[in-house]
Amino acid sequence: MLEISENFIGGKRIPPCGNDRLEVRFSYDDSLVGTVPLANRGDVDLAVAAARRAFDAGSWPRMAPEERQAVLSKFATLHAARSDEFASFICTENASPLWFTSAVQQGVAPQNAAYLDAAKSYPWEIRQAAFGGQNDTIWRREPVGVVAAVIPWNAPHQSALAKLFPALLAGCPVILKLAPETALDGQFLGEMFMDAGLPEDVLSILVADREVSEYLVTHADVDKVAFTGSTAAGKRIAAAAGDQLKRFSLELGGKSATIVLPDADMDMVAATVRFSGLINNGQSCIAQTRILVPSKNQGRFVEALVADLQSLTVGDPRKIETFIGPLVSRRQRDRVAGYIETGIAEGAKLAIGGLVMPEGIDKGAFIRPTVFIDVENSMKIAQEEIFGPVLSVIPYDSVDHAVAIANDSPFGLGGGIWSADPDDALDVARRIRTGTLSINGAHPDFLAPFGGFKQSGMGREFGSEGIGQYVEHKAITI
C-alpha cells in the first residue's frame, strides 16, 4: 500500500492544510491501494500562489523555448524508463486491464516526442513586413498564464501529460488536479519533473473533491482551465470561465460511430470491435460504441461479433490475458447497469451480455460485454455516453442513411470507417461531423489535432494546435 502524507505544491512536499484523506481502492476486490491528502481551499490557494510567483517573477516563462524543451525532453526519458511500473500501478487503481494500461503507457512516449517535435518548429516569435510595407511587425506567442489542468481517471498519465507538455512548453505554470479514482499514480510525476530540472513553483499536483475542484477552476489567479472529463462538468467549467472571461479548453464525452460500408469484410471488422468499442472496458471517450452496418449484413455481422466477444477473457485485470476487467467503481457499474435496463425497456434486444455477472466471477464491479441489436438511433442507449462495455448495432439502408445516423448525435469526438476501398471510406469520413476519424483501424497521429465537435468539447490537443491552446498572441508594430 502506498501512503502519501504530503501535498506536492510548487515543486516540494508540504503538509496539507487539513486532515481529510482519500482512500483509493481496487474495484476488483476492494483492496486498499493507498491513501493521499484531500486538498481543501487552503491547499489550492498555496498552489495557485506558487504558480502566480512562477509566472509573474520566475524564470520559466522567460526562458528560451529551447531551454524549456530540454527539461521536458529529460523528463520524457525518465518517464519512459518507468513505463511498465506505471502500467502495473495504474491497473490496480482504476482496474483497467493490464494490456490496456501497458499500451497507453507505451503510447505516452511518442505523444511526448510529438509535442517536443512541434515545439521545435513552433513560431514563438516571428518578424515580418507589415501589410502595405510601411512597417515591420513582430508576432509573439506568449504563455497564457497560470493553468489549472483537470484530468480524468481512465488514462491518467496520458491525460496529464497531454496537458502538462504543451502548457510547460509554452512557459505556463500548472496546477494539476488528479481524479480521486487515480489519486496516487500522478504523484510520481512531481518528483520526476523536478529531477528533470523544472524550477520550483512551476508545478503543483493536488487531489480534490468536486467543491474544491470548482474553487480551483474559478480562482481569480488562474488564467486558463484545461479539462478532460464529462460533458456535464465541461458545461459548468465553460459557464464559470465565461463569467470570468477565463481561457479554457475542453475534451469531453463521445458517442462515436463505426460505419461498416457494404464492401467491408464483415467478419474481420467484427473482430476489431473489441478494440474500437470495448477498449478499457468501454470506459473511453473515443470508444466507438455505435456500430452501423448494412441492414442486409446485420445478422452475419452480429453472429461474428458475438462469437468474438464470447472468446474474450473476463476477470482479474492484473493478468495480461484478461481483456475485460471490472469497471472503475461500484457506482460506475450501477450507472452502466441502469443503461442496460433502459435499453431493454426501450425495446432493444440483447445479443450477448446483460446484467448477469460473468461466469465464474462473484465479486467486483463487473459488467459483461453487452451488445444490443434492433437499436434505433433515437434510443437513450444510442444517444448518451454510457462509459461501459455496451455496444449498439444499428442497421442502415444506404450510405447516405449511415452518414445521417452517425451525425445524429449531440457528440462529435471520434469515429471509424471500414471499407475495401480507402477512397470511398475517405469520402464518407469527410461527411461526418466529428473531430477525429480512422479508416480501416489506422492509429492516430500525435502531430495532428485531437478534439471534438459539438458537445464533445472545445479546443484541441497534440501537435502545434495543442501548444496553441496555451499561448496568447501579441503583435508589436515597428
By annotation, the residues acting in catalysis are 251, 285
- The x, y and z cell numbers of residue 457, run together, are 468539447
Q: Could you tell me which of 406, 408, 452 has the C-alpha nearest to residue 258?
A: 406
How far apart are the C-alpha atoms of 394 and 375, rounded to whole Å?
5
Distance of CA 174 to the CA centre of its chain: 18
How far apart are the C-alpha atoms of 387 and 332, rounded to whole Å?
8
Give how far Cα 321 sits from Cα of 117, 152, 316, 318, 404, Å.
Answer: 35, 25, 9, 9, 38
125 phi/psi in degrees, rounded to 5:
-150, 125
Amino acid letter, 91: C
Cβ 127 vs Cβ 473: under 8 Å: no
- The x, y and z cell numbers of residue 339, run together, are 443503461
Q: Could you tell me which of 91, 10, 90 has the C-alpha nearest to residue 325?
A: 91
Q: Could you tell me which of 143, 187, 180 has the C-alpha nearest to residue 9?
A: 187
- The x, y and z cell numbers of residue 103, run together, are 499500451
- C-alpha angle 278-280-282 in degrees, rounded to nearest 5: 40
Handedness of CA 193, 237, 58, 42 (dihedral sign): negative
Give how far Cα 292 sits from Cα of 259, 288, 394, Å.
Answer: 5, 10, 5
Based on DSSP, count helices (H) and strands (E) in the chain, helices before strands. 16, 23
Cβ 179 vs Cβ 156: under 8 Å: yes
Determine the longest span between alpha carbons in the chain, in angstroms.
79
- The x, y and z cell numbers of residue 472, run together, are 496568447
Quickly count: other Cβ atoms within 10 Å of residue 120's Cβ: 10
DSSP 124-182: SEEEEEPTTSSSEEEEEEEE---EEEE--SSSHHHHHHHHHHHHHHHT--EEEEE-GGG
